[in-house]
């Protein structure tokens, strides 16, 4: 079993957590690493749950950044569809509330949560802003897997 979290933002990434808490993560811009992660995941097991952060345009967000945000979201949906996997779209407020780390726009809150999670698991992943939300999404997937 593996739990996958995907933050489709331009500065986002992907992370997976095993039931034992082992964590791996990659930034979205590292598409070759993402391919390698998916190869590892599919070679060793089938993800039991994939969570994709459901993104949408935000007030005062520019047209160009909104387009890029939506394009990345579509890229992930296409990638998962081509890979033949199902996933759950989850809005940020839903997973943040569940994990007790509502950010209200402060990315340091999810980075701190992800850093603590990784430290407790003994994983060697370096938590940066680009993968923090993905790690949190993977943890949300792990915690809510029984109810899916």
CATH code of 116's domain: 3.30.420.10
Mean pLDDT of the chain: 83
Residue 34's pLDDT band (cuts 50, 70, 90): low
pTM of the model: 0.85
Tally of CB atoms within 10 A around 117: 23
Collect all residues with Cβ–Cβ distance below 8 Å to 80 and sequence separation of at least 6: 50, 52, 86, 87
The arithmetic mean of pLDDT across residues 85-95, rounded, is: 92
Collect all residues with Cβ–Cβ distance below 8 Å to 16 and sequence separation of at least 6: 2, 3, 4, 5, 23, 24, 25, 37, 41, 47, 138
21: region left, alpha or beta (phi > 0 left; psi from -120 to 50 alpha): left
Question: How many domains, in total, are found in the chain?
Answer: 1
Which pLDDT does position 85 carry in this prediction? 83
Residue 98's pLDDT band (cuts 50, 70, 90): very high
Which pLDDT does position 35 carry in this prediction? 73
Which pLDDT does position 58 carry in this prediction? 60
C-beta of residue 95 within 8 angstroms of C-beta of residue 53: yes
Q: What is the largest CA-CA distance in the chain?
A: 43
Nearest to 73, CA basis, from 51, 90, 95, 53: 53
Residue 97's pLDDT band (cuts 50, 70, 90): very high
Residue 8's pLDDT band (cuts 50, 70, 90): confident
Tally of CB atoms within 10 A around 20: 10
35-49, 64-78, 108-122 — which one is most confidently predicted on average? Answer: 108-122
3-state secondary structure of 107: helix
Nearest to 78, CA basis, from 111, 48, 106, 52: 52
The arithmetic mean of pLDDT across residues 32-52, rounded, is: 72
Residue 135: give the domain boundaries: 3-147
Cα distance between residue 106 and residue 135, in whole Å: 16
């Amino acid at each position: 079993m593996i739990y996958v979290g995907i933050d489709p933002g331009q500065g986002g990434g992907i992370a997976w957590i095993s039931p034992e808490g082992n964590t791996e993560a990659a930034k979205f811009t590292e598409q070759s690493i993402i391919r390698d992660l998916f190869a590892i995941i599919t070679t060793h097991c089938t993800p039991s749950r994939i969570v994709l952060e459901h993104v949408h345009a935000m007030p005062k967000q520019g047209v160009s950044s909104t387009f890029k945000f939506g394009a990345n979201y579509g890229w992930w949906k296409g990638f998962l569809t081509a890979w033949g996997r199902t996933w759950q779209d989850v809005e940020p407020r839903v997973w943040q509330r569940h994990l007790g780390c509502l950010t209200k726009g402060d990315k340091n809150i999810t980075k701190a949560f992800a850093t603590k999670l990784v430290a407790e698991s003994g994983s060697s992943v370096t938590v940066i802003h680009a993968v923090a939300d993905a790690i949190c999404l993977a943890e949300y997937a792990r915690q809510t897997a029984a109810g899916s």
